[in-house]
Amino acid sequence: MPITFKDVFFTHDPNTPLAANALKGVNFEIEDGSFFAIVGKTGCGKSTLIQHINALLTPMSGEIRVGEFVNHPVKKKRQLKKVPELRREVGVVFQFPEYQLFEETVEKDVAFAPKNFGLKEKEALDEAHKALSLVDLDESFYKRSPFDLSGGEKRRVAIAGVLAFKPKVLVIDEPTAGLDPVGAEEMMSLFQRIHDEGTTIILVTHDMDIVLKHADKVAVMDDGKCVGVYDPKELFKEDISSYSLDDPLVYGFAKRVKQKGLDLDVSSIKDVDSLADAIIASKGGIL
Amino acid sequence: MPTLDEKRTILEVKGLTYSYDGEKNALNDVSFAVFEGTHTAIIGHNGSGKSTMAKLVMGLLTGYKGEIWAFGEKLEKSNMRSLRSRIGIVFQNPDNQFVGSTVADDIAFGLENRQIPHDEMQKIIEEFSKETNMERYLEREPSNLSGGQKQRVAIAGVLAMSPDIVFFDEATAMLDPKGRREISELVMRMRKRNPKLTVISITHDIEEAAKSDHVIVLEGGNKILDGTPNEVFSHEEKLRECNLSLPFFVTLKNALKSKGFNVPDDITDINALEDYLCR
């Protein structure tokens, strides 16, 4: 399902002294099946933006198209048509989703959404079990209380709860925040797998190494506007510090050695392995 | 730089064992020393026992086996208050540590508890809000600040108490890269200003650990490694078993090596590697 933002404006608490313009004319398009990253400093409007994708917010002006669905300015949200259908297709995993767990057991928590969407108890549990195996939680977890699990396990349960209704588009906000490095890597390979099976992924992150490694397109947000959609490698060639973005570690290193005089071809660099290849090539291969 | 064991021990735990449920040990006979004026990073994956360790040392959990020594004294019920008053803590969640309705009130909270005279208090607030670059925000409400700014206020409040040891309990885990950078620059400034200040950070950030003086690795409640970053990060197998990744510098050095491009052993940090490659 392609997603299009067209001249989207949004103001928090309009007509009050607290009014804050969060989106000031956002335009971009997300192709069906892509792994799309959204980056930008805290407060640039990323989180407000993603809440428009499944119509948790409606714009003040402009429109957002998600497949057939159109999110546009309305007086009352129930005037929007087909919101439940939209929310079956677009799953959103918010930041620190583990705070949203509420059921007695892991399987009940994960089965909540499929049941809500009309599946019978048994079918919903089947879907829940499938989703739990996707996030590497086996049947020993089914009957446990989600509150007795570790932080990383809780987060995986929360993500399974979204995967259980098989959304075609998965929106994830900072899924690796607060995880240890290996936990973060496992989390990202899970989303890569889900993407490779055909789901469109929209990822909000501060981690540019993740963007470089996983995303095929990246939108840069700055002060409520989308300043551009790039191929990640093209973006990181530029000076991105004015958007308060960090270079990925591999690119930062490549840029510094280049500045110090090493003739390095940065175009193929994606991770540490390809960086090592580029360095060796610039040194004329192995002697 | 003097080696670690030439420095004065400021905090030491001996045979520390703790269990939440009386069955499984969250910490298992852990001993280590922290040296004055150093930055020590305690790392380990989620559930390794590092937060339990921090809570014990900070006196937030009791009923442990073993000994905790701080400033040359054994921690007991009778001296807990006086020893603890020399240790400051910055917690993970910036929203969970505010009591004041303005930034200035918040920095003042600890000082008021110590009954510092008003004039003196004003001076201290001014000094540490400047130190943390928060002097323009003194009348603001803490809840309207960014994550990095909130943590800087928390740090100002801790520094105002002139502690000898500052504990950072995953204090940057919830911040964006800019907030994280602000905090790490601030920690550097603090240590430059007061070379005797000891910083202990419980962290997931391997790059931060790589820049520290002393790294302690916990796994399943046991101490696995203890030494300088260079020593600790040379034990790749063990770190992998503990589900920890290696710093960027070590990963790159290894990738080069595995492709047949050897980097000499005396290249021990990222700057040296850059210079070596550009020679």
Q: Give the pair of three-digit tokens for residue B128.
A: 């540490």
Mean pLDDT, chain B, whole residue set: 88
Q: Which residue of B has its CA nearest to A258?
A: B278
Check pLDDT > 80 for residue B178: no
Distance (Å) from the alpha carbon of B205 to chain A's nearest alpha carbon:
8
Tell me if chain A has a CB within 8 Å of the CB of B241: no
Q: In the predicted model, what is the mean pLDDT of residues B116-132?
A: 91
Cβ within 8 Å, pair B178-A180: no
Q: Give the pair of three-digit tokens for residue A34.
A: 């892509």
**Are the CB atoms for A223 and A44 separated by under 8 Å?**
yes
Of B177, B255, B270, the CB nearest to A272: B255
Q: In the predicted model, what is the mean pLDDT of residues A31-58?
A: 91
Distance (Å) from the alpha carbon of B175 to chain A's nearest alpha carbon:
9
Q: In the predicted model, what is the mean pLDDT of residues B40-55?
A: 87
Which has the closest alpha carbon to A144: A99, A105, A102?
A105
Task: Please report residues of A whose CB lies closer than 8 A to that of B270.
Answer: 253
Q: How confident is the model at residue B3 (pLDDT cuts 50, 70, 90)?
A: low
Tell me if chain B has a CB within 8 Å of the CB of A262: yes
Residue A245 is given by DSSP the state: P
pLDDT of residue B212: 93
Cβ within 8 Å, pair A179-B204: yes
Q: Give the pair of three-digit tokens for residue A29.
A: 């398009």
Task: Please report residues of A whose CB lies closer than 8 A to that of B47.
Answer: 150
Rounded Cα distance, B26 and A66, in Å: 48
Distances (CA, A) of A217 to A89, A229, B236: 21, 7, 34
Cβ within 8 Å, pair B204-A41: no
A6: helix, strand or coil: strand
A vs B, Cβ pairs < 8 A, gives 87
Q: Give the pair of three-digit tokens for residue B64.
A: 């442990």
Which has the closest alpha carbon to A47: A93, A114, A116, A115?
A93
Check pLDDT > 50 for residue B1: no
Of A43, A177, A245, the CB nearest to B146: A43
Contacts of B172 (CB under 8 A, 6+ apart): B151, B179, B180, B183, B184, B203, B205, B208
Terminal-residue alpha carbon distance, chain A = 51
Per-residue pLDDT of B225-276, as tens digits, reads 999 998 999 898 899 888 888 899 999 999 999 999 988 888 888 888 999 9
Q: Which residue of A has its CA nearest to B270?
A: A253
Q: Phi and psi (nearest 5°) for A102?
A: -145, -15
Rounded Cα distance, A64 and A58, in Å: 9
Q: Phi and psi (nearest 5°) for A32?
A: -60, 135
Task: Please report residues of A whose CB lies closer than 8 A to that of B177.
Answer: 206-207, 245-246
Whole-prediction pTM = 0.80
Residue A207 is given by DSSP the state: -
Cβ within 8 Å, pair B274-A253: yes
Residues 50-109 (B) with a CB less than 8 A from some CB of A: 92
Tell me if chain B has a CB within 8 Å of the CB of A241: no
Which has the closest alpha carbon to B34: B8, B60, B54?
B8
Check pLDDT > 80 for residue A185: yes
Per-residue pLDDT of B6-17, as tens digits, reads 789 999 999 999
**Alpha helices, DSSP H only, in B70-176?**
80-84, 103-113, 118-131, 147-159
Tell me if chain B has a CB within 8 Å of the CB of A257: yes
Percent of chain B scored above 70 by pLDDT?
98
Q: Phi and psi (nearest 5°) for B25?
A: -85, 125
Which has the closest alpha carbon to B156: B214, B109, B212?
B109
Task: Please report residues of A whose CB lies closer than 8 A to that of B263.
Answer: none
Contacts of B84 (CB under 8 A, 6+ apart): B58, B59
B17: helix, strand or coil: strand
Q: Report the Cα A107 to chain-centroid distance in Å.
A: 24
Helices B147-159 & B118-131 angle (0-180, nearest 10): 140
Task: Please report residues of A whose CB lies closer than 8 A to that of B245.
Answer: 181-182, 185
Mean pLDDT, chain A, whole residue set: 90
Percent of chain A scored above 90 by pLDDT?
60
Helices (H) and strands (E) in chain A, counts: 10, 10
Residues 72-111 (A) with a CB less than 8 A from some CB of B: none
Task: Supply the ipTM of this predicted assembly.
Answer: 0.72
